[in-house]
Amino acid sequence: MQNSEIPDAEILKSVLEPLLEDFQYWFERSRDFLEKHRLSFMNEQEQSDMLSRVKQAQAELNSAKMLFTATDGQVALDMATIQPWHSLVTEYWIVAQRFHYEQSQI
Report if residue 2 sits inside a domain.
no
pTM reported for the whole predicted model: 0.88
Collect all residues with Cβ–Cβ distance below 8 Å to 85 and sequence separation of at least 6.
Answer: 23, 27, 57, 60, 61
Domain that holds residue 34: 9-104
**Residue 75, φ and ψ in degrees, nearest 5:** -120, 150
- Report the residue count for the chain: 106
- Dist. CA 40–CA 99, nearest whole Å: 8
Identify whether 60 is part of a domain.
yes
Number of domains in the chain: 1
* pLDDT tens track, the chain, 106 positions: 345 555 577 888 888 999 999 999 999 999 999 999 999 999 999 999 999 999 999 999 999 999 999 988 888 889 999 999 999 999 999 999 999 999 999 8
